[in-house]
Amino acid sequence: MIYTLSQSVLGLLQSIDADTNHQHFCKQWQQQNDVESLDDLLTLLERLAIPFQVLGSNKGIGKQEHIAVLQIQKEQATIGRYSLSGYQEFEGQEFVEATRPKAAIDSLFVVITGYPEEKHSPDWMGNQLNQYRPLIPKLLTISFLANLFALMIPFVTMSVYDHVIAGDAGHEVLGIGIGAALLFGMILSLKVLRSQLLSTISNRISREISEAIINKVLATPLAQNRLTNGSSLMARLTNAESLKGVAQGPLGGALFDAPFVLLFIVAIGFLGGWIVVVPIIALLVYFLLALRSQKRIAQKSNRQTIAGTSRNSLLMEINTKLTFLRSTGYLGHWLKRFKKANYLASKNSFEHVAHQAKYTSIYYAVGLLSTLAVIALGIDLIFNEVMTAGGLIASMMLISRVTGPAQMLANSSGRFKQVTGAKQQVNFALSQMVEGDFIYQHQPLADKPPTIELDQVTLRYPSQQKPALSGISFSIEPGQLIVVTGPMASGKTSLLEVISALVPTQNGSVKVNGSNLSQYDPLLYRQWLGYMPARRVLPVLSIKEFIADSRACTDEEVVASIVAAGGEEWLLSLSEGINTQLMTLVNNDVVGVVTEILIDAKFRLHDFPMYLLDNPAVEMKEWILSKRGAATVVLTTHDKDMIGMADQVVILDGGNLVYAGPVPEAQEEGAQPPTTMGVSS
């Protein structure tokens, strides 16, 4: 059975016997978000917490565990499942035997590896790494061949010394040289291939971690994000880079060369007999030194972290309290504290680096002494006619193949502990619950103005003792224009954030069309309403991308909206038109106006829309008034004209409701509204 992309997700849920909540939520999601591309489909699968993999071929799918496969080709999809014995396709309400589909060049296979999850995996990182486990045998095979060819190089060198030079067989030099060149070429090709594979895998893992962390941050409640500073986010993203550094570069090569060190040890034993004890002792010394270094470096890292954190705290303190420090006599005391913290941070950093440099030198010395030991013992074996000169040179080359990876791993032993800590931090960050996680309930949002009811809404931010909102209760009828006013820091913006589901309340309820706000999916709810904050931060987007706001808008609709906003001359002055990047513009006011005109939301929230009210080209006050009846509008302002035109006025003071109801006649004559509290019905 052939599905469209939009139909395929619901068909997939039916094929895996997903519960009715998932199927109902899928329908509600598609009513507000068209599934027109693969990205849209995968986004919906992620929201439904369905584990999946995307493959470019159906080879080997039957060997891996899965419950369904979605084959996509030219915006059409089929649902099936593979087994070692054949293929079954989902028809109607069951799987039936069918012909195994052929994979075209443009085919993609979304392999559903499990049923919808009910909680976050405690080892997200481990699950991601398991996806790359099939590549490990291939990497080990490449490493084995590279080391096998590298093993032949010392024996080629030995043959040159013992056979060509000693036996005066110069005619064989050309053949040996060609063979050695082929070996070097094979070794180089295999190592380049391995490095490319490791770099690709590590970069992909780093990208997946970064994207997962950013998505988690975007889904985290606004109040929690406000408590997290930028340095914390950068530290999370740095973890992804630290994990990437282990798999690629010389350290990644050493990890895959380490298992084949045994080949070179056996070769040394074959050539020199008991001289094989030298590399074995060297490996033991590397291991013991690495253990000792890890203990010491852990202590020094803790000290460095504590000292660095203290210094950074002082720098943050002067950033927020500079005016106070300069206007009082505390600056001298603060400088003493900073000098002490700066000294300790520099000292601990120096000790940490010095410790690493010391052990790096020791590891190098162990490798050098191992080579000297092989030379000394080999000379004795040559005099006793147990080993040839060529065999000694070959043993010297082989010992470097043993001590090289060991030296790299021992010198990087501290990084493995850091990787373990970074993995734990990533798993902890991604296991946190955010809004909408594993909740699949969403009431239909009609395409008409809603009713809004607030009942004893109380909001207290974690960093504040006094609540931002305290016992706020009022109601809004469909299509009304509501003005929220009051002095600075009275709770106006917090009220809009509560209504828009950006900030959860500690007490009370907000109802939209009679349903509690918790019964709506936060993302779908915010897509339905039109919320415009006071400060518009314009991202790195084009004018068209920003105005469309992920909605399906044609170029003609965008241009017509700009013209309606009085920005025709402004648009003509831009050489790239609607493809101009916002960050290159000096005046972005027109963009905000156009966005408001284009979005046909039935519920609008405007936080101090001065960019609308003060627009010289268009009378935006009349435009807002024209939305009365067509949309429910709530805006915060101090503009007396807008207050006088409102259906209701809500006055806040210190987080408390002073008045909520129709605009009194006295207000229209210029007097202040009453201070007694009232609530509209």
**DSSP states of 8-21 as a string?**
HHHHHHHHTT--HH
Contact 635, 645 (CB under 8 A): no
- Distance CA(471)–CA(456), nearest Å, equals 4
Strand partners, 248: none
Which string of b and e fits 196-205 if b means at least 16 CB within 10 Å? ebbeebbeeb
With both helix axes pointing from N to C terminus, report the angle between 277-327 and 413-430 in degrees, rounded to the nearest 10: 50
* Location of structure tokens 């207050």: 643
* Annotated domain spans of the chain: 3-118, 135-430, 452-668
- Distance CA(564)–CA(593), nearest Å, equals 9
- Distance CA(399)–CA(474), nearest Å, equals 82
Could you name the CATH architecture of 135-430? Up-down Bundle (1.20)
Strand partners, 258: none
Tokens of 672: 């202040």
Query: Dihedral, CA atoms, 73, 78, 79, 80, nearest 10 degrees?
Result: -90
Tokens of 110: 């979304």
- Distance CA(277)–CA(488), nearest Å, equals 80
- Distance CA(186)–CA(202), nearest Å, equals 24
Report the pLDDT value the prediction gives residue 585, as an integer from 0 to 100.
Answer: 54
Strand partners, 512: 452, 515
Tokens of 66: 């899965």
Query: Rg of the chain's alpha carbons, rounded to an integer?
Result: 35
Tokens of 425: 């931090």
- Distance CA(331)–CA(427), nearest Å, equals 42
| Topology of domain 3-118, CATH | Cathepsin B; Chain A (3.90.70)
Side-chain half-sphere CA neighbours of 279 within 13 A:
26
**Which residues, 6+ apart, have CB-to-CB distance to 356 below 8 Å?**
297, 414
- Is 0.85 topped by the overall pTM? no
Side-chain half-sphere CA neighbours of 217 within 13 A:
18
Closest CA to 652 of 469, 506, 480: 469
Chain mean position to CA 79: 30
What are the two backbone dihedrals, phi and then psi, of residue 653, each rounded to the nearest 5 degrees? -155, 115
- Distance CA(5)–CA(8), nearest Å, equals 5
Contact 198, 252 (CB under 8 A): yes
Q: Which pairs with CB-CB distance under 8 Å and at least 24 residues apart come from 504-507?
A: 504/221, 504/223, 505/457, 505/458, 505/459, 505/469, 506/458, 506/459, 506/460, 507/456, 507/457, 507/458
Contact 409, 257 (CB under 8 A): no
**Which residues, 6+ apart, have CB-to-CB distance to 116 below 8 Å?**
18, 22, 48, 49, 50
Tokens of 78: 């089929």
Domain 452-668 has CATH 3.40.50.300: yes
CB atoms within 10 A of CB 573: 10
Report the pLDDT value the prediction gives residue 666, as an integer from 0 to 100.
Answer: 45
Report the pLDDT value the prediction gives residue 681, as an integer from 0 to 100.
Answer: 31
H-helix or E-strand spanning residue 91: strand 87-91
Report the pLDDT value the prediction gives residue 505, as an integer from 0 to 100.
Answer: 87
Q: Which pairs with CB-CB distance under 8 Å and at least 24 residues apart come from 192-200?
A: 193/142, 194/139, 194/142, 194/143, 194/146, 194/253, 194/256, 195/248, 195/252, 195/253, 197/135, 197/138, 197/139, 197/142, 198/139, 198/247, 198/248, 198/252, 198/253, 198/256, 199/248
**Which residues, 6+ apart, have CB-to-CB distance to 575 below 8 Å?**
none
* Location of structure tokens 């994979």: 103
pLDDT < 50 positions in the chain: 586, 612-614, 616-618, 666-681
Burial of 462 (0-12, 13-18, 19+ CB in 10 A): exposed
H-helix or E-strand spanning residue 610: helix 610-613
- Distance CA(528)–CA(457), nearest Å, equals 22
Report the pLDDT value the prediction gives residue 317, as an integer from 0 to 100.
Answer: 77
Q: Do domains 135-430 and 452-668 have the same CATH topology?
A: no
